[in-house]
Structure 1
Amino acid sequence: MSGCGDRTATSQSVSKPETQSATMAVSELEKTALGKIKQLESLMADAQAKSLDVTREETVIWFAKEFLKYANWDEQNRDAVAYMFEAYGPYRNQKDELADQIPDFQRTKVIEILDAGIEELSQVISGEITRRPVRKVDWQNTVAGDNMFVSEGKPIFLYDYFSKSVGRPLSDERVYNDHLGAIYHGGENLYPVDHDRAINSFLLNEDGSWNEELMKEVTGISDENIGFLIYWNMGLPEWIEQQEPEARKGRSLFTGYDIDNPLVRETWGKIAKKTGELTKDKKVSRMGYILSNEPHWYSEKNHWSHQFKEMNSISSYTLNKFRTWLNKKYAGEISQLNDNWGSNFADFDSVEIEIPIDRATRGTPIWYDWNRYHMDRSIDWFTYLQGELRKGNPEAHTSLKIMPNMFSENTRSHGIDVEALTELTSMIGDDAQTREKRKLNFKKDEEWQSHYGWYWEELATSYDFMESVSPNKIHFNSESHFLSASWWRELDTSVDYVNSVYWLATMQGMDANLAWFWARDPDGSPEDRLEGTMDFFDPALAGSFAGSNNQQPHIANAYTQVMYDLNSFSEEIVAMREQRRPIRLFHSETSAINKPNHMTQQFKLYEKIFFDGFPVGYATEKIIKKQDNSLWDSILVYKTEFVTKAELAALQAYLNQGGTVILDSSESLSKDEYGQKHKQGLTKGKGKLINLNGKADLDEIRQLALKESAAGLPELSLTEENGTAHKGCNWRVVKQADGSYLVNINNLGKHAAKLNLGLKAGGKVSATDLMTGRTLGDSFELKSKGVLLLKVNAI
């Protein structure tokens, strides 16, 4: 379900949808749209007569007709639409105004997508541009390969909606079709992806028997469908709560029970094993088992999640496991714990801790011990759950829908070790969020808005981190919040934004994504859950419809269109995704736990090298120990004061083998997890240790890193002028067998960029736009949120 984020409700003004209602009657808008549909259909016939692919235009026509129908429904059910707007806090005070405007807004946007479709197809017919035919997804025969989904022997990027017209049967082709994703037309049959099949606690009865009616929802899925299964961890049957009164202590928003409770663990272990057995070798499990929906257990005081009973207290089981963990951590020496904590416990069995923990303790040993244990206990839970599943299905693919801000944001009381959990499962899993404008519960603009066209920090940093940890795994974003999220949506979201964000996410590793969300029934009404009184445990669901893609024909169409383009160039994209990561940023969860602003500081360095033509990489203790160190040329350590002895030893081992470490200052790596000075720092060994002693700024650190990693950098150069001191164009390049280069450029900047491509060794180049066939030469302009896929030749 939708990530909740900060729950502080505010009433913000939003940009009003522009309509033509002041100058044109509704019937005229619809008449105009219908006329443009006929015009586009006529062009499609001309194109087909020339054997030109018109799949893209078929989708434009479908969305145009659907949203004209939706606009009429919204007009005829104005009060119901107002109620939907009222359910979303930032729109509440404008509910009547927006309800009046939304029918014409949708009709106007329909006209816009038709105009764009007419213009593009006219250019295709005239030969002004050339396009690759759309490559549709074969949902019946797509399989999970080693590190990508594969269809007809080629990589394929899967797309659909996580929640899709709940209440509609999978056989309803008005909902499950080419345009909304997850469909392959095979003769007379349709093969929709199955998802949101909830494996839950109620499957097991108290006497050990199975609830056969509920089990049919899992086992009764046609084996012609590819899909995934999800462990839905919200509820608990009464018999568990009667036997275990503490079973709900330490619950979280979407995990409604104590993961340390023995009966809960036994129950879920049986469920995982049994459902694994029953779904083994079925197509519905090809995309894997999602072991948890947005797991987190925020355990600090005054967190927004506490109103949902998250970590309001802990059970005796959790406390006792913590005591055991501490006993091992301190090697049985209670005096050492007392020295660290400033406590006077007689032994480990008498240790107490107040949960939720006070934020004021951050940076102290008690804060570190609790939060490191808190992460370890969730690792233990998911290791157990996955292990039991694989007793029933040894080949089971697994993922976790990890909220990427668990990595990118400063907070570390959530119990999620992104590195360990990414390592654990066989697929990378997440539900990344982006936004084109600031969050609607923020009272002023965010810092990124001064420089960039959209907020990419969470997506980019977390994806580069997870891909660094597990570079050879399928990456499944099972609830992409790119189109809307709890505290962001914009009725007039730009099509360019949608194009830019999906290109970046896919270039950074995303193999499948399910957008949030599709909630229109075929007649235009909201899905069953959203009709009548909307009283949900998570209030984010009630407000999800208003201002979403369900009211945005241009955005719903843009999502499908960009996935068409990505799949038409899947082989080129995968080739560029495999580009080497020559510079690695050292990441320490030890510093992230201890420091209040560690990830904010780290992003400043990440941002500096994000626009240099290669993917940013990360190094950790485990990455250094487990991966081939020749995969990178240098490791940057920046404002990372706290590291364990093991982390320090890993960096020293890398140096001893001839590696290069750039250390920003003597403060970095100076303290252990408890703030005690390390007795010895790094030495160069057989490698190169560059200690900048805190004198270099970010630009100097970047330049030094580029110099030390020069041998692994691209042969091409890209210069950018956008009128500011901030670069905006993220780009990647890979050399092909014929000596040419594949280049992707994505302008994340707020301003248009004048670009010049060249060879670092000297000499000129010429670029061809692979998506249009146009020759661009070596100098060209790229609009804000513009994307190019180029073939570049030396001349």
Structure 2
Amino acid sequence: MLVRLKYKVLLIIITVLFVGFGNAQTQEKLAQAKIKTLNTLISKVEKQGKDVLKEKMTVRTAEVFLEFANWDEKNVSMNTELFKLVSNYKDKATETATELPNFERTDVIKMLDEAIEYITLLKDGKVNRKEIPNVDWKKVNVEKAQITFNNRPVFLADYTWKPETKKLEEFYGSLDGFYISPAQIINASGEVNENILSNLNSKPSVTPGFVFINNKGVPKWATTKYGDGFTKFQGPPFFDYDIDNPGAKEMMSFLIKETVPKMAGNKYTDLGYMLCNEPRWINYKNGNKKVWYNSEVSSYTIEKFKAWLKEKHSSIANLNKIWKTNYTSFNEVTIENPIDVALQGTPQWYDWSTFNDARVLEWFTWMKSEIRKYDPSAKSQLKIMPSFFTDNDPCTGIDLEALAELSEINGNDIAAHYNYTRNGKMGWEDDYIFGWRELFLGYDFLKSVQPNQINFNSESHLLSTSHTRDLYMNPKYARAVYWAATILGMNASQTWYWPRKADGSLKENFSDNAYGGSNNQQPRVTNELHATIMDLNSYSEEIAAMQNQRKPIRIFYSKTSAYNKGEYMDDLFELYESLNFEGIPLGFATKNIIAKQDPSNWDVVLVQKTEQVTQDELEQLQSYLDKGGIVIVDKVSLKFNEYGIALPDLTQSKGTLIIVDLLEDMKLKALQIVEQKNNVPEITIIEENETDINGCTWKCVKNEKGNNVLSIINLGKTNATLNIQFRNSKNETTCFDLLNGISISSQPTLKPYEVLFVEVKNEK
């Protein structure tokens, strides 16, 4: 019986392959015919003096993915094994891998049909398009707050691991860089592999890039020299050594001293020295539940903690009073290692979490200073996962604000979620078409902390992550999410990822659960990503203005409450979410932001469910009030310090202190204040959809002609009909679709994922 079943399965596969071969030839011929048709139209439209860069890219995308499909057709078994690694394909891996080439060719044909339809409209004058800048990466300049080409802002996009070939770099990015690692230090005297040094000596400086400092691959000599614990107490998965061991500085100084002088001043360092890939020092446990990548710390760390406690608390008597202990000296202090998350909210938890962040900050501060010895103008960045901040993950060692302040470039690998393939839901599925919390909160926070720095997403997970994947992704999602990210402040991205070689084959010994269903199997998604970047670059001045808008409403973020309260960011997101569909840029305020930045940059600070703050945090809020600021606070906030000791109340002083009961009251009063100060957009939008919440997020700026330019993205799950109006005007509102060059209704309907970018006028 089993033999018969196996025979039937084999027969089905052979039949599918046989039928598929004929179908493949038909699809290939059809696609090639459509490429020919599109090229003919490109030639005609080009002769009319119209821009056709986007269609030329589509032809290239078609050619590339047809090659990919041919390779996939010959490698069904390999793709089957890779699909088995993806949770939502593992039970249908063979079927999906067998169908993949057909899907890719069909997707190419759809993409070509769409391009042919649009360029025909362009040829006939039914749509119009502003010229798309053909960005020459060799002539791109990375400035402090923006990236420019021909004295205009531009937004760059590339992929991790993409081959360096002209065919792929012409349209999909030409990011450069260099890779260094402790593994390249060959002995205890600090000599670096001669091949690495030779490569640096001969490496041309052509296009912008970044230096990837890998902290893995500790050489054997280092373990011998610094002890077995040197690699035991680390920051997994991407940090292989103990930052508190004195040997860490010696080892990394060897690497930096030999390599950085050869890299200084080269364009491939323009986007910074990336001090670490996805840093984390997770040092907590959760009873018997698994905590990903948690680790213990060394005796060096414990001794450093004792010294930190002494500096923080001054005397052992003070520590005992707060911790409710009876130590006779700081030398006796012990801490559970890893600490149990059940202790969150206790003084021990707070002190350990704060110290854990401080030691990580100290390490990267040293790394930056060591690099600056040999490259005084070096820019540093870290590929930080903002989810540690937005999800309020406990005890990670990552203080997003402090590390952003340390950096010259806001490095990150921010993510969004098209779907969720693990068990359960993430919380957004009932209301929104994709998960945008990390993206919006993360970039608005970084732009609040460092408003005049570039945001570089050096491992963009906007399309997919290990637990977010869909081979049949709606290409409009790619437009929505990259448009949103750029509007929020992203200047450059390196999307995860491009594991294929130029001929479509995968790298040797390739085995990765991130591949099946990702962008290298999605022609229209890939094409749409770069079409979106082209559109953003066509209107880069307006987009840059949106990135750098004043943020009149600031949500107060307290590290104290974040450390002590597991649901703190859920509470802050509730407030942020309620304000995110009002057309008013949102930002954050912290102790440091209030102290270091000009308070005229905002109108009001909102304090929501922030029960615990330090004395310093409270004093900065009071100082803001003393200078005439406005603070709206709910009745539960600002009651206790980090150790649960009661704090004095804020006083109104020269400012305005408003106490509210409900979140809705806080929102309404904040909007009223911004309106009273004439800092609301001239435009209002009334939305109607099939739900009880708004789904369209929007921004509005003035262009050089003085007209309003409006960007709208439908994050909702249903169509949204909008009524775009001018405030306090009875005149007709007219809308001009900037991307298509046509007039449209001021009452448009946006589908989920849809982006609208229009110039709005008040006709008299």
Asked which structure has the greater RCO (Cα within 8 Å, sep 6+), the reply is 1
Equivalence for 2:106: 108
Structure 2 SS opposite 1:159: strand
Matches within 5 A, 1:387-398: 387-398=369-380
Matches within 5 A, 1:151-550: 151-165=149-163, 170=164, 172-174=165-167, 176-182=168-174, 193-195=175-177, 197-203=179-185, 205-245=187-227, 246-252=229-235, 253-302=237-286, 310-331=293-314, 333-437=315-419, 439-443=420-424, 445-530=425-510, 534=511, 542-550=512-520
Equivalence for 2:744: 776
What is the alpha-carbon distance in structure 1 between the residues aligned to residue 534 and residue 407 of structure 2?
A: 29
Structure 1 residues 211 and 522, CA gap change in structure 2 (3 angstroms): closer
Structure 1 residues 203 and 194, CA gap change in structure 2 (3 angstroms): farther
Matches within 5 A, 1:596-615: 596-615=566-585
What is the alpha-carbon distance in structure 2 between the residues aligned to residue 248 and residue 722 of structure 1?
A: 56
Equivalence for 1:594: 564
Equivalence for 1:563: 533
* Mapped pair 1:76 → 2:40: no
User: Gaps (5+ residues) in structure 1?
Assistant: 1-18, 183-192, 535-541
Equivalence for 2:669: 704
Deviations 1:159-190 (A, max 9, x none): 1112224xxxx3x324x4222222xxxxxxxx
Equivalence for 1:749: 716
Equivalence for 2:637: 668
Letter of the 1:582 partner, please give it. Answer: P
Equivalence for 2:702: 735
- In the alignment, is the contact (CA less than 8 A) between 1:657 and 1:686 conserved in 2? yes
- Per-residue deviation, 1:101: 1.0
Deviations 1:245-294 (A, max 9, x none): 22123312101111111111122134334433221111111121111100
* Cα RMSD, aligned residues only: 2.0
- In the alignment, is the contact (CA less than 8 A) between 1:203 and 1:214 conserved in 2? no
Deviations 1:491-526 (A, max 9, x none): 011111000000110011100000000112222211
- Per-residue deviation, 1:343: 2.7
Q: TM-score, normalised by structure 2?
A: 0.94
What is the alpha-carbon distance in structure 2 between the residues aligned to residue 442 and residue 430 of structure 1?
A: 26
What is the alpha-carbon distance in structure 2 between the residues aligned to residue 423 and residue 364 of structure 1?
A: 28
Number of aligned positions between the proteins: 742
- Per-residue deviation, 1:204: 6.0
Deviations 1:181-225 (A, max 9, x none): 22xxxxxxxxxx323523435336312333322333444321223
What is the alpha-carbon distance in structure 1 between the residues aligned to residue 84 and residue 288 of structure 2?
A: 22
- In the alignment, is the contact (CA less than 8 A) between 1:311 and 1:355 conserved in 2? no
- Per-residue deviation, 1:792: 1.2
Larger deviation: 63-72 or 361-370? 63-72
Structure 1 residues 303 and 216, CA gap change in structure 2 (3 angstroms): farther
- Per-residue deviation, 1:303: 9.6
Structure 2 SS opposite 1:195: strand
Structure 2 SS opposite 1:604: helix
Equivalence for 1:721: 688
Structure 2 SS opposite 1:731: strand
Equivalence for 1:538: none
- Per-residue deviation, 1:586: 0.3
- Per-residue deviation, 1:342: 3.2
Q: Please point out which of 610, 614, 627 is paired with 1:657.
A: 627
What is the alpha-carbon distance in structure 1 between the residues aligned to residue 696 and residue 411 of structure 2?
A: 27
What is the alpha-carbon distance in structure 2 between the residues aligned to residue 162 and residue 195 of structure 1?
A: 11
Q: Please point out which of 550, 572, 575 is paired with 2:542.
A: 572
- In the alignment, is the contact (CA less than 8 A) between 1:269 and 1:384 conserved in 2? no
Larger deviation: 385-394 or 70-79? 70-79
Letter of the 1:281 partner, please give it. Answer: G
- Per-residue deviation, 1:29: 2.1
What is the alpha-carbon distance in structure 2 between the residues aligned to residue 334 and residue 639 of structure 1?
A: 32
Larger deviation: 208-217 or 291-300? 208-217
Equivalence for 1:3: none
- In the alignment, is the contact (CA less than 8 A) between 2:710 and 2:757 conserved in 1? yes
- Per-residue deviation, 1:744: 0.9
Structure 1 residues 368 and 217, CA gap change in structure 2 (3 angstroms): farther
Equivalence for 2:11: none
Equivalence for 1:43: 41
Structure 2 SS opposite 1:140: helix
- Per-residue deviation, 1:123: 0.8
User: Gaps (5+ residues) in structure 2?
Assistant: 1-16
- In the alignment, is the contact (CA less than 8 A) between 1:141 and 1:151 conserved in 2? yes
Letter of the 1:33 partner, please give it. Answer: A
Larger deviation: 476-485 or 340-349? 340-349
- Per-residue deviation, 1:306: 7.3
Moved over 6 A (4+): 21-24, 303-308
More helix by share: 2
Structure 1 residues 196 and 391, CA gap change in structure 2 (3 angstroms): closer
Deviations 1:558-579 (A, max 9, x none): 1211111111111110122222
Structure 2 SS opposite 1:223: coil
Structure 1 residues 90 and 468, CA gap change in structure 2 (3 angstroms): same
Letter of the 1:271 partner, please give it. Answer: L
Structure 1 SS opposite 2:326: coil
Structure 1 SS opposite 2:363: helix
Structure 2 SS opposite 1:585: strand
Letter of the 2:422 partner, please give it. Answer: N
What is the alpha-carbon distance in structure 2 between the residues aligned to residue 158 and residue 251 of structure 1?
A: 34
What is the alpha-carbon distance in structure 1 between the residues aligned to residue 682 and residue 207 of structure 2?
A: 45
- In the alignment, is the contact (CA less than 8 A) between 2:432 and 2:716 conserved in 1? yes
Letter of the 1:745 partner, please give it. Answer: I
Structure 1 SS opposite 2:212: strand
Structure 1 SS opposite 2:98: helix
Deviations 1:646-684 (A, max 9, x none): 00000000000000000111x200010011111x11000
Structure 2 SS opposite 1:617: strand
